[in-house]
Amino acid sequence: MDDDGVFKALADSGRRALLDALFVRDGQSVQSLCAVLPSMTRFGVMKHIGVLEAANLVTAQRHGRTKLHFLNPIPIGRIADRWISKYAQPYTRALLDLADDLERPSA
């Protein structure tokens, strides 16, 4: 897995908006994804989709003359497991333990 490619893809707000749109309704054409970024040209949207495909965040399938794009959430899940969960978990556990101690009635 290429973490750098995934981070690069997620670094752009336009690409995140495309991923959000595919999360809401998977299997969209370039034409429908262009509506997500109305100030951008079709070519610009296609370049963003290319970056997302290179990072394996989006896959494409042809249906007749139409090419549909689908969200692949696995790379984001791996990033979360690798870079977020392991760092957040000890602090989260400590805060939950502190909250339990503070909320426990004193004897």
pLDDT of residue 107: 63
Q: Return d(Cα 71, Cα 31) in angstroms, integer.
A: 16
Phi, psi of 71 (to 5 degrees): -75, 135
Q: Is the pLDDT of residue 1 over 60?
A: no
Q: Return d(Cα 98, Cα 103) in angstroms, integer.
A: 9
64-84 pLDDT, tens digit each: 999 999 999 999 988 888 877
Q: Return d(Cα 94, Cα 107) in angstroms, integer.
A: 23
pLDDT of residue 93: 74
